[in-house]
Amino acid sequence: MFADMKACNVASTMYSVSGALRAAAEVAALEQCRIIHAHAVVTGFDMNVIVGSALVDGYGKAGFVLDARQVFDENLLGMNIVGWNALMSGYAQQGDKNSTLELFNSMEARGLVPDEYSFLAVLMSFCNANLAVETEQWLTRMKVDYGFEPGLEHYTCLVGALGRAGRLQEAERLAMTMPFVPDAAVWRALLSSCAYHGEADMAWAMARRLLELNPHDDSAYVIAANVLSAAGRWDEVAEVRKLMKDRRVKKEGGRSWIEVQGEVHVFLAGDRRHERTEEIYEKLEELMKEIEKLGYVPVWKEMLHVVGEGEKREALWYHSEKLAVAFGVVSGAAPPGKALRIVKNLRICRDCHEAFKYMSRVLERDIIVRDVNRYHKFLNGSCSCGDI
């Protein structure tokens, strides 16, 4: 709509520019955000507080927090609480609790009063940094020191943090006793934590609670089947699959996409529809051989119970996110030294997560992946998520 408006020579307003930026932010469309940013500069809206806040939000949600910070600093004098929260949220999504806290303290020093979204950013930063004690302390501080009653999203951060720390019983107890009815996000956070820690019984229980809210949530069936398979409980795996079949639930296919010069390229696992398929597969094969030299070992177990034991090693190579990275390299999506940015509709698989740590060393650049849960920033062989 924004593009059509400009094509019809209708003048922009701060509301149309900020609205277009919000749309770009929701789908992490970095190039679109940059194009609209350029338009805002030309029209003089870039220094408007509403547009400035939307730019900070757009770059932050695209995973480019340094760009968000630059816009923020340029608009610092006029920035209101919305802009401060947007930048804190950008840092929080990557688990950068130090930058989030620095902003929180700077905001207070300037006389701005934090609101519930400020605390949500802080809690999210600690949760994504896998720091349960600090998450718990800040939820208490929010209530005691600032007089705010935490909302459902604040409690969800703590449930997630406790779960990731392995304090699963405490996380479940909190979910059952907090002053809100747990929603799907709460049970999904607990389910993911149980799966990570290999707690099959509790994972299946959390999956059933999630399915009570939405019987067609494919992720609940898949995660439950995975953790039960890893535990060798094949009868229950069969039960999960039968339930899935009876309810006519199909597993959502994994898709990954990457922007190149404003155009979005989407990949599926084993995808050969792209016009540059041969180059993509050659580059990916080259990358996989290089990372094996550095010590990469494929994560087999996750694949065996999903696709069957007949799966060949090469099938692991051709996951959608790996194809997107290979295309990013051959297409020049980011020059050497600049980050490659991938978006995935599901959680990044364990094998791709492991491979990207090595690829970041081979390519000598950051690889930023936004999956359904959070941002992963791969740099010099490690990931910002701490492998959780």
Q: Report the CATH number that the domain containing residue 211 is assigned in CATH.
A: 1.25.40.10
List the structure tokens of 30: 């970095």
Q: Which residues contact 15 (CB under 8 A, 6 or more apart)?
A: 50
Phi-psi region of 381 (alpha: psi -120 to 50; beta: other; left: phi over 0): left
The one-digit pLDDT tens for each residue of the chain (388 residues) are 999 999 999 999 999 999 999 998 888 888 889 999 999 999 999 889 999 999 999 999 888 899 999 999 998 888 999 999 999 999 998 889 999 999 999 999 999 999 999 999 999 999 999 899 999 999 999 999 999 999 999 999 999 999 999 999 999 999 999 999 999 999 999 999 999 899 999 999 999 999 999 999 998 998 899 899 888 899 999 999 999 999 998 887 789 989 887 788 999 988 899 999 999 999 999 999 999 999 998 875 444 444 444 445 556 788 999 999 999 999 887 666 678 889 998 888 888 999 999 999 999 888 999 888 788 989 999 998 877 6
* Residue where a domain terminates, one of 252, 270, 287: 252
Does residue 61 belong to any structural domain of this protein? no
* Residue where a domain terminates, one of 209, 225, 252: 252
Q: How many domains does the chain have?
A: 2
Q: Which residues contact 58 (CB under 8 A, 6 or more apart)?
A: 21, 22, 24, 25, 33, 36, 37, 68
Does residue 331 belong to any structural domain of this protein? yes
- What does pTM read for this prediction? 0.84
Question: Does 293 lie in the same domain as 261?
Answer: yes
Range of the domain at 235: 182-252
